[in-house]
Chains A and B, each alone.
Chain A
């Protein structure tokens, strides 16, 4: 079955970096992109970015684009999210999700149909 398995929880100090992995199985990795989202304690879902299966092109949330990098390793069907210069308000559960993004009759379609179980990242001194 299709699944995304994320790496384990992390505790980081302010100013450090974190790299979360997301290993896909059960489908052709190159046929879908990967989105990343996070949920801080008591907050809603926040979209972070998207990496396309084609040439690895990326789109990032404006507030994160100076600190985030999304990459993939097709040889292992694994996606990675790196967030740098961590702050306390980066404490959140981070999710990866398989997604589709494309254009159909002038409209963009975009959705995330399979999600990982989440990785808790805690930023604390």
Chain B
């Protein structure tokens, strides 16, 4: 059981837009910044978003992040076949004094 809650799966057709939600509490998302990671099987996870909505160098602006109260959202526009992967939200939990991940969301590009 993960501290942060994500939908197990989402799907959409190429070119469309998809959003992935991440729900937490005041101990984690509510009072800390959120990051998002893309993970393709057999590869290293990749940082997509940090500080709620900042993109590292090299991450296209098709990826965006937002946060409201105790929830965060990852948005992906102009879906491509290469976006098919598992996506994880993460943050710091002040009560646990530990990092936490969501359970992961599998994105299928139809």
> Do A and B share a complex?
yes
The residue from A45, A49, A104 contacting B39, defined by CB atoms under 8 A apart:
A45
Could you tell me if A44 and B103 are in contact, using CB atoms closer than 8 angstroms? yes
Which residues of B are found within 8 Å of A49, using beta-carbon distances?
98
Within 8 A of B (CB), among A101-119: 101, 104, 106-118
Nearest Cβ on chain B to A120's Cβ, whole angstroms: 11
B interface residues, how many (CB within 8 angstroms): 30
Could you tell me if A44 and B32 are in contact, using CB atoms closer than 8 angstroms? no
A61 vs B99: C-alpha distance when bound (angstroms): 8
Nearest Cβ on chain A to B44's Cβ, whole angstroms: 4
Most buried by B among A59, A61, A110: A110
The residue from A50, A95, A101, A110 contacting B45, defined by CB atoms under 8 A apart:
A95
The residue from B32, B47, B50, B101 contacting A108, defined by CB atoms under 8 A apart:
B32
Could you tell me if B101 and A37 are in contact, using CB atoms closer than 8 angstroms? yes
Chain B interfacial positions (CB closer than 8 Å to A): 2, 31-33, 35, 37, 39, 43-47, 50-51, 56, 86, 88, 90-92, 94, 96-104
